[in-house]
Structure 1
Amino acid sequence: MKTKLLYIIGLWGCLSLMSCGDDDHLSPSDLDGDWYVLTDSEDPLDHLRYTVYETYGIPIFYNDTIGRQDRGVDNAGVPIIYYEILNPNYSIESSTEYAQYELSDNPEAITVGVEFIRDEIFPRLVSPKLYPRSFLLVKTLTLNAASTTASYRHEESTYRGMMTSCVSQVEEIAGMTDAEIKRMACRVAAEEYTTYLMENASSLLEAFLNVCRAEVTSVNLYALSLTTSSTPPYVANLEEYGFLSYDKETTYNPSRSQVKTVGERADVLDYVTEILTDDDDTFEAKYGSYEYVMKKYELMKTVMERLKTVLE
């Protein structure tokens, strides 16, 4: 028995030495590059993107194919070409196509889009912790794209994914007024703040979310279908319940008194957008008669102040 034990120990030791020897000769496969690194270019548009990347470390793309790599040949001698594709829908948990987009082929419009992100978006993000992995400029952006009902799909100006944040309407930016540009910039920036709040600082949102979770009524109002017979009942103005919008991915039928409220993330996004817009007078003129809207507005102000203090 003792001899057998010594033999096993000796064999294990030899295997360990062989393993260590193999490790000494390991080297990178070079199959995976860093696709998010930009290099300078003589092309004016790509040079502009590079200058923004140099400053902020975040690439701006206008093509969803962001890399190409030759990987030798297969057994039949056919070249193996790998393409790295930006996928706004990429998720560890799901592969559903939620965001659908159309790319732009207009260099002038894309140049304006890059300048928009440089001049309007990055200055509104007070910390690199808020930055997405990349930005993708697109012509159009449709959310809830997998829906079989066309009326449930809706156009948006921005969408935050794990691989990239889409910024839409790139061909329309040049024709926007200053007020429209500011509004869009606040919405894009709000996507980044909302993502950070929901994922990393959710405790800051408790008082804000509790207004619609429990304060307005004893029923949690988030993502709730309202009709005349529901509890609580349908109201013509969701502002009475503290909401600034309705769930665009479901049916809104005022003639039948039917609507669904937004979920928590969409509600946070709506209010963060308003806080970034920083126009108390206009907001109060529009919503001043709605008690819960005004309360949530003040609560979100506090949230953003506390968050910026932490991030800065």
Structure 2
Amino acid sequence: MKNILFVIAACYTLTLVSCRKEPFTEFPDYDKNWLAMEDNPNDPTIHANFQFYKETGIPVFVNDTIGSQKRVDVFGKAYTYYEVLSLSYSLGGIPSGPPPAVQSFTYCSKADVPNALTFLKNEIMPVIGGNIHVPSIFLVENMNTNAFGTYAYKGFNTVVVAQVSKIPTMNETTKAAYKAAILRAMLTNSVLDNKYADILDKFYAVSRKYVNGRDAYGLNSFYLTSTYIVGLPPGTPFTFQALGFLGPDTRITSSSPISTWLDVSMYIEAAMVNTDAQFKQRYAASPNILLKYGFIRQILNDMGIK
């Protein structure tokens, strides 16, 4: 009799449990696309940036914190998550030597944003067209980097464009250098795409073929001697330029560029600041530089960058 009562009680309990409505857990949108801009007509700066975003598909920010979200951690404790643009450099894996870095920056004034957007529309967008992926643009005032100067920097999910207040007063020479730095930051990823691997291998080989027993990249100036440098025409000085480098590493001036991608970046910027004729005239006495430039120009032409 006790067994029968136990079975009846168990069945009754199961019936109550099965009739109870399962609780619904609503998870926050942790996979939100933070780079998708939202308009705010009441904020002229955000509204202007949103118009640029609609026209180009590129979000523009004036703060590296681009959003926040209420979340709950694994212990059930509520906290606020802040999405911040990543300024760490994304190319080359873990490079040897000091990695490229933004050492400091200051926010720009919202009053300078309209001139910056006009410059981007008129000077940058016609060059890159719709073929180059730019995840976002972060407008700042002052910026210091250890590898790429003070104008522009390629971060993980943004291109930092600095000195925006100075755009209206830049002379033509400064503006050309400024434009070239921005284009270098925007184009490097695309130039280093795997589809151009064969061309890039030829580009790297121009310098590497003259160095014996060591890699041409990260070569200390101490090794610019006949013991390690072979094959240059007789009488050619042993310099980084003779090997096909535009200059030393931008962080270690006693060394050739320590990374292949830095070498490429330097060539892209030089190609963007000079016309084809200007570049060839400037480096007429450096045949290996002209040879490497030809490979970069081949890639840029294929990308539609004239």
1:49 matched residue in structure 2: 49
Please say if 1:118 is aligned against 2:121.
yes
State the Cα distance separating 1:54 from its structure 2 match.
0.2
Find the counterpart in structure 2 of residue 132 from structure 1. Answer: 134
Q: Deviations over 1:159-202 (max 9, x none)?
A: 21222111122232222123322332222112222212224332
| Aligned mates of 1:156, 1:245 — CA distance in 2 | 18
**How many Å separate the matches in 2 of 1:73 and 1:267?**
44
Post-superposition CA distance 1:275-305 (Å, at most 9, x none): 3345133223321111111222223222222
Identity %: 23
Shift in Å at residue 237 of structure 1?
A: 4.9
Matches within 5 A, 1:52-63: 52-63=52-63
Distance 1:90 1:282 in 2: 30
What is the SS of the residue equivalent to 1:308?
Answer: coil
Shift of 1:60: 0.8
Partner of 1:301: 297
Report the TM-score, using the length of structure 1 for normalisation: 0.73
- Render the CA deviation track for 1:42-99: whole Å, top value 9, x for unaligned: 33222211111001221111101111234489999x97332211121276977x8822
- Which residue matches 2:199? 204
**Which amino acid is the alignment partner of residue 245 of structure 1?**
G
Please name the residue that 1:232 is paired with.
229
CA, structure 1 residues 267+154, in 2 after alignment: closer, same or farther (shift >3 Å)? closer
For the structure 1 residues 299 and 188, does the alpha-carbon distance in structure 2 shift closer, same or farther, using more than 3 Å as the test? same
- Taking a change above 3 Å as real, the CA distance of residues 208 and 32 of structure 1, as seen in their structure-2 partners, is closer
Aligned alpha-carbon RMSD (Å): 3.6
The one-letter code sitting in structure 2 at the alignment partner of 1:104 is: Y
Higher helix share: 1
SS in structure 2 of the partner of residue 138 of structure 1: strand
Gaps of 5+ in 2: 1-17, 231-235
Which deviates further from its counterpart, 216-225 or 59-68? 216-225
**Correspondence for 2:181:** 187
Unaligned runs of 5+ in 1: 1-17, 145-152, 253-258
The equivalent residue for 2:248 is 246
One-letter amino acid of the structure 2 residue matched with residue 42 of structure 1 = N
SS at match of 2:34: coil
**Amino acid of the residue matched to residue 100 of structure 1?**
Q
8 Å Cα contact 1:104/1:171 also seen in 2: no
Correspondence 1:158-169 to 2 at 5 A: 158-169=152-163
Report the TM-score, using the length of structure 2 for normalisation. 0.74
**Are the equivalent residues in 2 in contact too, given 1:140–1:168 (CA < 8 A)?**
yes
Instruction: Give the secondary-structure state (helix, strand or coil) at the position aligned to 1:283.
Output: helix
- Any idea what SS the aligned residue of 1:249 has? coil
Q: Distance in 1 between matches of 2:107 and 2:244?
A: 38
Provide Cα deviations, 1:184-243, integer angstroms capped at 9, x if missing partner. Answer: 2222112222212224332331222210121x4445322211126672399685322211
Please give the secondary structure, in 2, of the residue aligned with 1:260.
Answer: coil
CA distance in 2, matches of 1:264, 1:286: 23
Counterparts of 1:273 and 1:225, CA distance in 2:
23
- SS where residue 100 of structure 1 aligns? strand
Q: How many residues in Structure 1 have an aligned counterpart in Structure 2?
A: 270
Deviations 1:22-49 (A, max 9, x none): 9xx7755334432212222233222211
Q: Note closer, same or farther for the CA distance 1:90–1:69 as it changes in structure 2 (3 Å cut).
A: farther
Deviation at 1:244, TM superposition (A): 1.1
Check whether the contact 1:68–1:82 (CA below 8 A) recurs between aligned residues: yes
Alignment deviations for residues 96-120 of structure 1 (CA, whole Å, 9 cap, x no partner): 8822331224222233223222322
The one-letter code of the counterpart of 1:106 is S
SS at match of 1:276: helix
- Residue identity opposite 1:210 in structure 2: A
Letter in 1 for 2:110: P
